[in-house]
Amino acid sequence: MDELTDERIVPGTSLRVTAVSVGTSYLGNPPHPDGTPAEEADALARAMFASPFAMIDTSNNYAQGRSETVLGAAVRRDGLPAGKVIVTKVDADPETGALDRDRVWRSFEESTARLGLDRLPLLHLHDPYTIEVEEAFAPGGAVQGLTELREQGLAGALGIASGPVSQMRRYAESGAFDVLLTHNRYTLVDRRGEELIDLAADRGIGVFNAAPFGGGILAGRGEKYAYTQAGPELLAWVARARELCGRWDIPLHAVALRFSLRHPGIASTIVGVNRPERLAQLEELRATTIPEGFWPELAALGTPPSTLED
């Protein structure tokens, strides 16, 4: 059996996932001129439901809510296929930036109304950049709202999904969360998220690793890493890595994906998909064999000069 396709239970939860999960930040974009989702979005949602990947990851704010709307329309029409789960995230108010207990409840209610689901197996606190960590844990704060949702049986596991390692560490150490979702911090060109993965293992917290291609640079799309223009040193490192992959006849993006998949502390790797054909390509990448002898040669390229500071 292929250990990368086997379903597994996410530590700290009862959630069953596959090694790769599908991200939906692109789903619903671009919309029709009136702001409604285009037909192509429905085709993508159908393809996600038919894919071998068990978990579909969305958020209250992806495509201004259209991501959830498209998924919800598919659920109402076709039902949620057996073995598939949809998880989402609560987000700050898009106009005021509020992210307190009341906003968490409103975000949850908006999401469940769009998705047509009464209960969510996993609910993340998403990118809490508009508040300080202390505010999140204060009475009437975001964590209170999440805890209430779990206590009332409306949410299963609770997660923290964000970027900066220093911020994520404080949330993970609080004991309030079952899962953490890190993005752009554990890739071929940035390893700083490894301390979060180790922390999670020590505490029995499940880990999702998102954006293994760094926003595109490791998939050959553009020169940005984590939404920021890559500097000449990083571009040079990626060029050397691509040259090494060429000598081994391995696509760089297959290596980037496997780098995440091979870490035993990562329950599932989340990859954003923007077209149906990308799902088949993703499965091909997942199935690509990377010889063990490749990894020491990759390590010999030295520490990549990441563009991130935290």
Residue ranges covered by each domain of the chain:
8-299
pTM of full prediction above 0.85:
yes
Q: What is the DSSP letter of 118?
A: S
Nearest to 50 by CA among 26, 1, 83, 2: 83
Residue 91, judged by CB atoms within 10 A of its CB (0-12, 13-18, 19+), counts as: buried
* pLDDT tens-digit profile, the chain (310 residues): 345 557 899 999 999 999 999 999 999 999 999 888 889 999 999 999 999 999 999 999 999 999 999 999 999 999 999 999 999 999 999 999 999 999 999 999 999 999 999 999 999 999 999 999 999 999 999 999 999 999 999 999 999 999 999 999 999 999 999 999 999 999 999 999 999 999 999 999 999 999 999 988 999 888 989 988 999 999 999 999 999 999 999 999 999 999 999 999 999 999 999 999 999 999 999 999 999 999 999 999 999 988 888 8
- Residue 104 and residue 98: Cα distance in Å, rounded? 9
In sequence order, the 6+-apart residues with CB closer than 8 A to the CB of 44 are: 27, 70, 273, 274, 275, 276
- Residue 172 and residue 168: Cα distance in Å, rounded? 6
Fold of 8-299: TIM Barrel (3.20.20)
Contacts of 148-151 with CB under 8 Å at 24 or more apart are: 148/101, 148/105, 149/104, 149/105, 149/108, 149/123, 150/123
Nearest to 189 by CA among 302, 288, 25, 20: 302
- Residue 21 and residue 164: Cα distance in Å, rounded? 22
- Residue 208 and residue 62: Cα distance in Å, rounded? 18
49 SS3 class: helix
Token pair for residue 139?
């009475």
Q: How many CB atoms lie within 10 A of CB 151?
A: 9
74 SS3 class: helix
255 SS3 class: helix
Per-residue three-class SS string for 127-195: CCCCCCHHHHHCCCEHHHHHHHHHHCCCEEEEEEEECCHHHHHHHHHCCCCCEEEEECCCECCECCCHH
Q: How many CB atoms lie within 10 A of CB 287?
A: 11
